[in-house]
Amino acid sequence: MLNKYARALFAAIFTPVAALLVRLRVSPDAVTIVGTLGVAAGALIGYPLGELFWGTVVITVFVFSDIVDGLMARMLGRSGKWGAFLDSTLDRVGDGAVFAGIVVWFYTGGNNHFIAAMALTCLVLGSIVSYAKARAEGLGMSANVGIAERSDRLVVVLVATGLVGLGIPEAVLAVVLVLLALASLVTVFQRIGTVRRQAHDPNLAQGQQKQGQ
């Protein structure tokens, strides 16, 4: 949902930033790496210290590097397999850091083991969601389906965590994480079902590949 409706808007907003960085001879890979380090710092330093709001602010600022580096790569004509691999891999590092930071805080100073357990569940299921798509593509098929894609999961958990940092009840984050875990589980089965159908119907697999291109 967010990829479809929001990416074009944010691309327009951050195009001047990307153009400036290109003029300054900053590489897209450097932006990708710095963005991941910023997300990890906000999550693994801010969250464990109980700074749920400010940690979320830092994470949100650096998350937008995911858009900026893509714009820069297209401006430089460097969109290719290496950039896609690096971007996708470091996205998972950032996502893992966000949920890990929540787990650490709520298992320690936050003292809410249910939220910690649900955050850990979301971390595991989110990894399976990503792996299912990557493995399908590695086998020459496609798994571009699901009700809980990466952008949706990240935005939902960041908004809920940031609001808890501002004082809303922790129960809100608990409910969000439960729903997110269920949505991720459904997405896993959706992707498994999609790949199974393609595996038994080569013509369907080819059609799915063309649609994803």
**Residues annotated catalytic, as ranges:** 91
Instruction: State the Cα torsion 135-139-145-150 to the nearest 10°.
Output: 30
- What is d(CA 118, CA 175) in angstroms, rounded to the nearest whole number? 9
Report whether 28 contacts 76 (CB < 8 A): yes
- Nearest Cα residue to 43 out of 155, 158, 152: 158
Contacts of 84 by beta carbon, 8 Å cutoff, 6+ apart: none
Report whether 169 contacts 112 (CB < 8 A): no
- What is d(CA 129, CA 183) in angstroms, rounded to the nearest whole number? 10
